[in-house]
Amino acid sequence: PLLDAPDFIRYPIRMKTYVLGFAFSPDKQTVLLIKKNRPTWQAGKLNGVGGKIEEGETPAQAMVREFEEGTGIKSTEADWQPYAHLGSIKDDANPWSMHVFCTFTLPLHTAQSQTDEEVMQVPVNLEKLGLIGITNLPWLIGLAIDPDLPRIQMTATYQGHVTGQA
């Protein structure tokens, strides 16, 4: 009977899905980041631009929408290259999935904060970004600017409660 079913069968959890994007200058020397106000564990730290994927959207469509909502810059799905997929383990109580994109073709100088979170161009200095950004920022940015990127698609699975990580 239904009452004897495990909780995950009686109370299905819908996986939260997100996008995260890094827009670089063509020479890969600067990246557009947002100084986060929320969630609490990200407050005051730098991160890429992104957000939740809405019902009926593909990850690429969500990336285009979220980037414009955060920076005011219009883009197309073709501007964004997917290169990483992050997620929680399957038995996590709060499962999540994040599609990570990068672009090197957008006019970063036209970016303007569209919310209470400040948008800024930041020099690509992985050591410094490790101090002022969320913990995975250096390796996500490092992977995006790697010359082998066209041949790479990375998947990372986080285990346990994610605090201080994206």
pLDDT tens track for 93-150:
778 899 999 999 999 999 999 999 999 999 999 999 999 999 999 999 999 999 887 7
* Cα→Cα distances 27→40, 100, 117, 145, Å: 33, 20, 26, 10
Provide the pLDDT for residue 6: 40
Q: Let me know if residue 164 belongs to a domain.
A: no
What's the structural domain count of the chain? Answer: 1
The percentage of residues in the chain with a pLDDT greater than 90, rounded to a whole number, is 70
Is there a domain that residue 165 lies in?
Answer: no
Is there a domain that residue 39 lies in?
A: yes
H helices present in the chain, as ranges: 7-10, 59-71, 126-132, 137-144
- Each residue of 35-59: pLDDT tens digit? 999 989 899 999 999 999 999 999 9
163 within a domain of the structure (yes/no): no
Give the span between the Cα atoms of 82 and 152, in whole angstroms: 10
Q: Is residue 36 part of a domain?
A: yes
State the average pLDDT for the chain: 87
Q: Under the phi-then-psi rule, with left for phi > 0, alpha for psi from -120 to 50, and beta for the rest, what region is 51?
A: left
Spell 82-101 as b/e; 16+ CB within 10 A means b. ebbebbbeeebeeebebbbb
Check residue 153 and give its pLDDT.
80
CATH code: domain of residue 114: 3.90.79.10
Domain that holds residue 137: 2-158
Write phi, then psi, for 152 (nearest 5 degrees): -110, 135
